[in-house]
Amino acid sequence: MNHRKRVLASIRHQALDRIPLGELVIPDGLVERAFGVKPRGDRARLCLRKEFLDELGMDLVVVDASRQMTGDSIGSKSCAVSEVEFWARESDFFVFVLFEGGFTRALNLFGWQDFFRVLAKSPGDVVSVIGETCQSLEGTALEMLQAGADGIIIGDDIAYRKGLFVSPELLREVLWGPLARMIERIKVRVGAPVFFHSEGNIWQALPDIVGAGFDGVHSLEPSSGMDLGEVRRVFGETLCLMGNLEVQYLLCHEESDLVREVTGILEVVGNGAGFIFSTTGGLIDEVDLVKLKRMCELVTSWRPSW
């Protein structure tokens, strides 16, 4: 089973040879530190990243569609499309493309203080921004999928550690409708899986995430009350879960703490169908490379005892 097939099988809740593994974010600086070199040009950067992913046994790569590459940009197409084409051509990784969602776009447009005021007094203004974002995102997502991407991730942080930023009812009014229509059209055209990313406590939003047509959800922060076992019990048959190791275990914790935490996650998911192992928010430059390698070894060698 190659990387792409392994991830797709898990999204479909099918039998696996092992649990798939991948990260939402991997900084270039971390890759450069691992090899002690700074590549010149985008192709060299991607080739070094591929070697990094191969050595760790990861199964997927995430192309950030909002990130602008500089330099030679691998040809004349948009940077993200060129990067998608590279991964589709040069690897068998499952290729996700990450987009900023409409809720986050509206929040950034209005600013934190004004956003909630506008949302309370004139929610239609927020709906307009979210609708326009989804329409634009749909066209770009289809372009990425036609270029060779396998799936889409919508990044929309709608929560903090204690719960949602706004009520579930208000989110239903402004957010889930436009997303559901966009997802439906994408699936009619190409049938690609779509994941939702949000940090924080999103328990109250999970039924609406399912209802909007998402295939999976990423983050599931334990420190925000997202108990993996309970989420898997309630939503494990309808959503592929991606998470849920806090990146702190790759920084300041002892290796024994990392082993205990990773093993605990693996024991919860068992054979791994419907699960992709990752950290809750992606890697950062300061990650301990020895601990990162140990984490990946634990995941790729895991076999349930039942």
In the chain, % of residues over pLDDT 70: 96
In degrees and rounded to multiples of 5, residue 74 shows phi and psi of 50, 60
Q: Which of 49, 56, 65 is nearest to 22 (CA)?
A: 56
What integer pLDDT is reported at residue 252 of this predicted model? 83
Rounded to an integer, the average pLDDT of 122-138 is 93
CB 198 within 8 A of CB 221: no
95 pLDDT band, cuts 50/70/90, is: very high
What integer pLDDT is reported at residue 77 of this predicted model? 52
Average pLDDT across the chain, whole number: 93
Say how far apart CA 38 and CA 40 lie, in whole Å: 7
- Write the Ramachandran bin of 220: left for phi over 0, alpha for psi from -120 to 50, otherwise beta: left
What integer pLDDT is reported at residue 221 of this predicted model? 97
CB 88 within 8 A of CB 149: yes
What integer pLDDT is reported at residue 74 of this predicted model? 41
What confidence tens digit (pLDDT) does each residue in 199-243 have?
Answer: 999 999 999 999 999 999 999 999 999 999 999 999 999 999 999
75 pLDDT band, cuts 50/70/90, is: very low
3-state secondary structure 78-124: CHHHHHHHHHHHHCCCEEEEEEECHHHHHHHHHCHHHHHHHHHHCHH
Rounded to an integer, the average pLDDT of 121-150 is 94
Rounded to an integer, the average pLDDT of 93-99 is 97
Q: Assess whether pLDDT exceeds 50 at residue 96.
A: yes
67 pLDDT band, cuts 50/70/90, is: low
Worst-scoring range by mean pLDDT, 116-120, 169-173, 277-281, 291-295? 116-120
CB 20 within 8 A of CB 272: yes
What confidence tens digit (pLDDT) does each residue in 273-285 have?
Answer: 999 999 999 999 9
Crossing angle of helices 42-56 and 289-300, in 10° steps, is: 60
What confidence tens digit (pLDDT) does each residue in 12-58 have?
Answer: 999 999 999 999 999 999 999 999 999 999 999 999 999 999 999 99
Q: Assess whether pLDDT exceeds 50 at residue 173.
A: yes
What integer pLDDT is reported at residue 303 of this predicted model? 87
Rounded to an integer, the average pLDDT of 6-16 is 97
For residue 100, what are the contacts with CB-CB under 8 A and spacing of at least 6?
66, 133, 155, 156
C-alpha dihedral (56, 256, 275, 54), degrees to nearest 10: 0
The b/e string for 17-52 (b: 16+ C-beta within 10 A; e otherwise) is ebbbbbbbebeeebbbebeeeebeebbebbebbbeb
In the block, residue with structure tokens 């406590």: 201
CB 131 within 8 A of CB 107: no
| Residue 164 CA from chain centroid, whole number | 19
pTM for the whole structure: 0.94
Token pair for 192: 């690609």
Q: Assess whether pLDDT exceeds 60 at residue 68.
A: no
What confidence tens digit (pLDDT) does each residue in 111-125 have?
Answer: 988 999 999 899 999
What integer pLDDT is reported at residue 113 of this predicted model? 86
Q: Assess whether pLDDT exceeds 90 at residue 82.
A: yes
In degrees and rounded to multiples of 5, residue 212 shows phi and psi of -75, -10
